[in-house]
Structure 1
Amino acid sequence: MSTRVIALALLAFVLGFIFLMASVTWLVRDPLPIVGANQTLLLHSVEIQPQIRTAVAIDGGYRVDLTLTHDGAQDPHALLRPAGGQPIALDAGTDSAGAWSAAGQMTQPGRWELVLTEGTAREVIAFIVRE
C-alpha cells in the first residue's frame, strides 16, 4: 500500500512540474525581442501612425546603427537608452532617401529602450541586447 502512495505522489509531482513548465507559454504574453552582436533587429511603432519602421543594427563592438523609415510628412526622432537610464549619444541625420539614421556606442548589454518621438506623439519600444 505504501509503495502505491509513494508512486502516486511522485506521479503527481512529475505531472505538476510538466504542467508548470507548459504554462509558461500562457503566462508570458509579449516577450521582448532579443538582439546580439552582428545582428539586426526590426521594430515598428504601434501608437504612432503612420507607422515608423526602425532597423537596429549592432556590430561586433556593440556599435549601433539606427535607421528610421517613415512617411514623408513625418519628422521622427529617436533616443536609445538603457532601461531607466540616460540616452546614449547618437550622431544623427537623414540619408539621401529621407530616412532618419543615427549611430552610437552601446554601453552595456541588457534591457534597452528605443524612444520614438513624432510631433507630440511618443512611443517607447523595449528590447534586450545580449552579450
Structure 2
Amino acid sequence: MRLTATLVLGLFMATPALAETHLVQMLNRDAAGDMMVFEPAYLEIAPGDSVTFVPTERSHNAESVDDMLPEGAESWVGKRDEEITVSFDQPGYYGFKCKPHEAMGMVGLIRVGDPDTVPGIGKLRGKGNDRMQALLAQAGG
C-alpha cells in the first residue's frame, strides 16, 4: 500500500499540473471586421504553458519574430494551413506573425510570466509594424 501511494504521488509530482494550452485562431477577418488577424493577438500566459495556433481559415501560418524573443528562447515556424503547438518555458515577450500576411498586419505578442522589460519592435513589414507597436503598448511598453 505504501509503495502504491509513493508511486501515485511521484506521478503527480512529475506532471506539470498547472500547465495550460491556449488557442489562437488565424483569421481572414475578425468579428470587428479587422482583416488578417490572430485572435487573440495578445496573450498573457504562465511559464510552462503552451499555445496552439489553429489555421481556422486557409493560407495562414504562425512563426516567431526572431528578433522579438527572450534571450535563449528557440524560434519556431509553422507550415501554412497546419496547426502548431508551441511551449513557452522561459519568461519574456514572444513576437509572432503569419509570414504571408505580415505586411497586412497579421502579428501577435505573448507575454510569459512577469518579465522586467517590454522589448523593442522587431523587423516587421508594413502594417505588421503598426499592429505590433499597438500590442507592445498594450503590454505596457
**TM-score bin, normalised by smaller chain:** 0.3 to 0.5
- More strand per residue: 1
Choose 1 or 2 for highest CA Rg. Answer: 1
**TM-score, normalised relative to structure 1:** 0.40
TM-score, normalised by the number of residues in structure 2: 0.38
